[in-house]
Amino acid sequence: SRTIGSATRKKTLLNSSVDDGNATLKDNPNQDAFGRFAKDAKISALRTKAIQKLGESTFEKVYDYFVQQRMAQKSNPNFNEAKMTEGLTAFVKNTNDCFLVDQLVFLELYQN
């Protein structure tokens, strides 16, 4: 079999260690995929998408509802997830439309 020059170079790079002159994610935990910067960007994107999907007025109602319910869930081990989902029908016809808001609230409440 033949080896193409660029393929050989790629293989060499994969087997070599990281250049000490370059920063890695471990070097800056605030900038890594699980750091504060990434979480803030995710929260901002989720908020924007949810508002676009639900409209600002409905988003605010659903958001407040989820915050209230998720706080109750923290203190109540017998929390009923089905009842919470059922309660969303007061705000929206399709409860699946609220998934982005649930993700948003989760990230905000548990980001520490």
pLDDT band at 74 (very low <50, low <70, confident <90, very high): confident
Classify 107 as helix, strand or coil: helix
Query: What per-residue confidence (pLDDT) applies to 109?
Result: 87
Structure tokens at 20: 């000490």
Q: What is the mean pLDDT of residues 4-22?
A: 46
Neighbour-count burial of 102, counting CB atoms closer than 10 A to its CB (0-12 exposed, 13-18 middle, 19+ buried): buried
Q: Which of 106, 105, 62 is nearest to 87 (CA)?
A: 62
